[in-house]
Each structure stands twice: as C-alpha cells, then as structure tokens.
C-alpha cells in the first residue's frame, strides 16, 4: 500500500469527495499531534549555524553532518531546553569535523500514562519514536508499548507488586551502561515517573556518571482514574485537598500515618493497595474515619478493562474480594466518590 504521505491532505480531500474538508482536517489534526511545537526553535538553531557549517564542510559532508545532528542527541538537547549544552556540542562537532555519531548517549525517563495510548503526551511519543533501546515494566500498557519504534530493542525489567525480577540497582546500572555505549535509552514507566515511579532513584545514579537525561511527566494513575471514573479528586463541596500514598503491604501491615489519612475534607488515593485493602479499611476506621465513607476501587482505568467498584470504607473490601480483581488498580476514598454515579461517562462495552 502506498504511503498516505505521498498524497497531501489536499489530494486526499479531493479524492474523498463530500467528506473532504472533514477528512483533511482530521488528517491535519493528526499531523499536528505529531510535530513538536518546538520544531521552529530547532529550525532557528540550525539556521544560526548555517554559515559556519558551510565554510567547513563540502556539500555532501553537510548533508551527513546535519543528518547526524538532527537525528541525534544535540537536537534532543535543544528541544528539551538544554540550549547551552546543544550549542556547545554543535560547536565541538564543527570543530572536530567528524560526525558525532553516537558518542553521547542519553536517557529519557518517560511517563507512559495510565493505560490509554491516547493519553500519551507528544513529547513521550516523540522520544519513544527515536529511542534505540527501551526498558519497560509491568505497569506500561501494551497499547502504549506498541508505539515504541519498531527497531528499538525492548528490555523487560518488570516489577511485580511482590517481587522485582530485575533489582533496582541493576536497572540503574543497565541504564548507565547502555547510555555509555552511545545509545538513546528510554526508560518507560506507567503513569508518572516521579510519583511512585522510583524515577528519582534511577536518575540519581545517572547524574553521578554525568549522563544527559530528561524527564517527561505522564498522567499519573490517580488523575487518569479520576477523569475516566468520573470521580473528581477535589471538589468545593467535598474535598479541598488530596493525598496520595502507596498501600504496599509489608508483613501484613503498612507503615502509614493513619491519623493524617483519616482526616475529613480530603480525598485519599491509594496506589498499589489491592492486597492491603482489608488492612487499610480496618486501620482507617480505627483511626476515626466513618465506616460509611464512600470508597471506590478502579481497575485498569482508561482502558477497555476498566472496572469501577463502589462501596463504603467498610464494604469495599468484601465487594472487591467478590469481584476477583487482580490487575493494576487505584483506590479512592472520600466523599467525592459519591459523584461517580452522576459523573461516570466512560463506559466499556465488550
């Protein structure tokens, strides 16, 4: 099949008759999503070096030179705001008169969002499309992983709630080694890398080694869940603040500040709380939260496997147990949960 690119949106529109403006606009919308807004900056940067490069290189050399620059880390430095570093690297490169090739590797720490690939950011997808190697784990949805460049090497460093197939220290070392080999390494995480993503721990070691990196925020699971389950995290009438914790069980208990969590007028969001839900429910009630406080567990929010189970602080553990939930889930406790009935708009039809 011929690539659609060989036909401009205008040509497609003409051939499609009555639907032409619509199809052309849809295509344009799709194209717009694909071009980073900062490409203009890149064009200006390139223009500012035109004369220097022309003096130094032959016509053929110039083509190769710009290819290596525009597809490589220098362009990415610039697009991610490292203007000085990009300028210096380009000047070095012109001085050395050799193609940079892959001398500098770098690491992209990227949030893959809550599951629906439609909730990826432009920046995330762009980096996914130019990575040489991708390290991902269990919390990255298959639909998101599908959008990684086909040629990229994929390394599963999956994390299960109960055991880590690849220990954190090894992941850190792997990132360093790959970057030092000159690769563009994408560390892809579910949700956001800096909110229960251990992203801080991973890039701290990179920094020690002087490796360039950038961090791309993602829609964190709580926020994606909130939107797709119709449960606002804050609401003037119900909750003026919101607290995020992990409900990771250690020896059947949790090291949480229950008293602070049981406060009124706030929404409590618990990541990784499925197994610990009975403990959470018991402790919060013991620390003064009303047993009839609305509570919900949302499985695989934003995907076609989304399920929303609603009950109270007291009844939710039983409801969840009966429903045989096993997958990634978010627990939301607070009066805002009562809005779900009214605000639910995302329905999954199998």
Q: Are 294 and 312 in contact (CB under 8 A)?
A: yes
Give the catalytic positions in this structure.
Answer: 137, 159
Closer CB to its own copies, 63 or 154, in the complex: 63
* 344 phi/psi in degrees, rounded to 5: -65, 125
What single-letter DSSP state applies at residue 119? Answer: G
CB of 154 to its own copies, least distance (A): 17
CB of 260 to its own copies, least distance (A): 4
Q: Are 298 and 307 in contact (CB under 8 A)?
A: yes
Closer CB to its own copies, 19 or 327, in the complex: 19
CB of 25 to its own copies, least distance (A): 7
7-11 own/partner pairs: CB under 8 Å, 24+ apart: none
Q: Are 214 and 240 in contact (CB under 8 A)?
A: no
Closer CB to its own copies, 116 or 283, in the complex: 116
Closer CB to its own copies, 66 or 315, in the complex: 66
Question: With b meaning 16 or more CB within 10 Å and e meaning fewer, what string describes 27-65?
Answer: beeeeeeeeeeeeeebeebbeebeeebeeebeeeeeeeb
CB of 34 to its own copies, least distance (A): 4
Question: With b meaning 16 or more CB within 10 Å and e meaning fewer, what string describes 276-287?
Answer: bbebbbebbbee
Closer CB to its own copies, 168 or 315, in the complex: 168
Count of positions (residues) in the chain: 350
Return the closest-CA partner of residue 110 out of 221, 218, 247, 1.
218
CB of 321 to its own copies, least distance (A): 25
CB of 168 to its own copies, least distance (A): 9
DSSP per position, 3-35: -GGGS-HHHHHHHTGGGHHHHHHHHHHHHHHHS
Q: Are 337 and 226 in contact (CB under 8 A)?
A: no
DSSP per position, 40-92: HHHHHHHHHTHHHHHHHS-HHHHHHHHHHHHTSHHHHHHHTT-HHHHHHHHHH
Cβ count near 274 (within 10 Å): 20
Closer CB to its own copies, 55 or 322, in the complex: 55
């Amino acid at each position: 099949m011929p690539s659609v690119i060989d036909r401009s949106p205008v040509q497609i529109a003409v051939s499609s008759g009555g639907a032409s403006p619509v199809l052309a606009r849809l295509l344009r919308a799709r194209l717009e999503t694909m071009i980073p807004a900062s490409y203009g900056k890149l064009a200006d940067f390139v223009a500012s070096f035109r004369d220097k490069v022309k003096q130094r290189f032959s016509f053929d050399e110039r083509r190769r030179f710009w290819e290596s620059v525009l597809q490589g880390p220098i362009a990415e430095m610039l697009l991610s705001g490292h203007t000085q570093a990009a300028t210096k690297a380009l000047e070095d490169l012109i001085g050395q008169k050799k193609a940079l090739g892959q001398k500098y590797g770098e690491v992209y720490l990227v949030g893959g969002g809550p599951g629906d690939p439609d909730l990826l950011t432009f920046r995330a997808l762009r980096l996914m499309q130019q990575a040489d190697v991708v390290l991902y784990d269990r919390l990255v949805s298959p639909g998101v992983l599908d959008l990684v460049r086909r040629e990229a090497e994929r390394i599963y460093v999956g994390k299960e709630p109960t055991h880590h197939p690849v220990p954190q220290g090894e992941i850190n070392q792997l990132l360093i080694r790959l970057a030092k080999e000159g690769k563009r390494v994408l560390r892809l995480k579910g949700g956001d890398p800096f909110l229960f993503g251990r992203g801080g721990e991973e890039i701290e070691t990179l920094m020690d080694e002087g490796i360039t990196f950038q961090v791309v925020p993602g829609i964190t699971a709580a926020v994606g869940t909130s939107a797709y389950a119709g449960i606002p995290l804050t609401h003037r009438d119900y909750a003026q603040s919101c607290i995020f914790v992990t409900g990771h069980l250690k020896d059947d208990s949790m090291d949480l500040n229950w008293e602070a969590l049981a406060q009124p007028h706030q929404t409590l969001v618990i990541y990784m709380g499925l197994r610990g839900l009975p403990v959470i429910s018991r402790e919060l009630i013991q620390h003064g939260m009303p047993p009839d406080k609305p509570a919900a567990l949302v499985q695989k929010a934003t995907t076609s496997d989304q399920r929303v189970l609603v009950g109270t602080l007291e009844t939710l553990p039983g409801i969840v147990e009966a429903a045989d939930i096993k997958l990634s889930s978010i627990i939301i406790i607070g009066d805002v949960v009562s809005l779900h009935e009214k605000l639910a708009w995302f329905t999954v039809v199998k």
